[in-house]
């Protein structure tokens, strides 16, 4: 679906960790783009009911990119540019614990209602 532009390969890279594992990513990427690059949409985040959530707007509107950056939880990954040594942690397990009532009421069964599963992402 997405393909890196040739000019992107000339961009200097930085090393970040995602859930403790080191990854080289172009220094111009947002945290959300870097995580999508290495984990894919299905691996970005989960909502309270356990279904997948991934960044949607990539411009600070939807809040579907919440992620922990350097121990600060619930940062909008699409608005933060990667930096050398940055520690990123996906909020896979915390989503259920920190889900708001709005999340649960409006999104918990959304995938189920639409009949989606992992193969759809
Ligand atoms: S992807 Fe929508 S706010 Fe970050």
100 CA to middle of ligand 1, Å? 17
State the chain's mean pLDDT as an integer. 81
The token pair at 13 is 């890279």
Is 65 contained in some domain?
A: yes
With a 6 A CB cut-off, is 41 part of the ligand 1 pocket?
no
Per-residue model confidence (pLDDT) at position 34: 96
Per-residue model confidence (pLDDT) at position 38: 93
With a 6 A CB cut-off, is 58 part of the ligand 1 pocket?
yes
Domain that holds residue 14: 6-96
**Is the pTM for the entire model greater than 0.75?**
no
Per-residue model confidence (pLDDT) at position 49: 79
74 CA to middle of ligand 1, Å? 11
H-type alpha helices, the chain: 31-39, 94-98, 101-107, 110-114
The CATH code of the domain that includes 30 is: 3.10.20.440
Beta pairing, strands 21-26 & 13-18: antiparallel
d(CA 121, CA 82): 25
With a 6 A CB cut-off, is 74 part of the ligand 1 pocket?
no
**Which pLDDT tens digit goes with each residue over 15-44?**
999 999 999 999 999 999 999 999 988 889
Domain count for the chain, please give it: 1
Is 104 contained in some domain?
A: no
Q: Say how many CA atoms lie within 13 Å of 85 toward its Cβ.
A: 0
Which residues are bridge partners to 81 per DSSP?
30
Closest C-alpha among 28, 82, 37 to residue 55:
37
94 CA to middle of ligand 1, Å? 18
Closest C-alpha among 29, 22, 36 to residue 8:
29
pLDDT averaged over consecutive 10-residue blocks of the chain (121 residues)?
68 95 96 94 82 91 95 96 97 59 44 51 52
Is 57 contained in some domain?
A: yes
Q: Which atom of ligand 1 is nearest to the CA of 57?
A: 2
Whether the Cβ atoms of residue 5 and residue 29 lie closer than 8 Å to each other: no
């Amino acid at each position: 679906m997405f393909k890196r532009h040739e000019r992107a390969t000339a961009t200097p890279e930085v090393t970040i960790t995602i859930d403790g594992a080191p990854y080289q990513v172009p220094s111009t990427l947002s945290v959300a783009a870097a995580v999508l690059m290495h984990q894919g949409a299905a691996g970005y985040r989960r909502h309270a009911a356990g279904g997948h959530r991934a960044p949607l707007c990539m411009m600070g509107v939807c809040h579907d990119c919440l992620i922990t950056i350097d121990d600060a939880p619930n940062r909008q990954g699409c608005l933060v540019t990667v930096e050398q040594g940055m520690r990123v942690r996906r909020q896979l397990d915390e989503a259920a614990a920190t889900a708001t009532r709005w999340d649960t009421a409006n999104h918990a069964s959304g995938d189920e209602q639409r009949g989606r599963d992992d193969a759809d992402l």
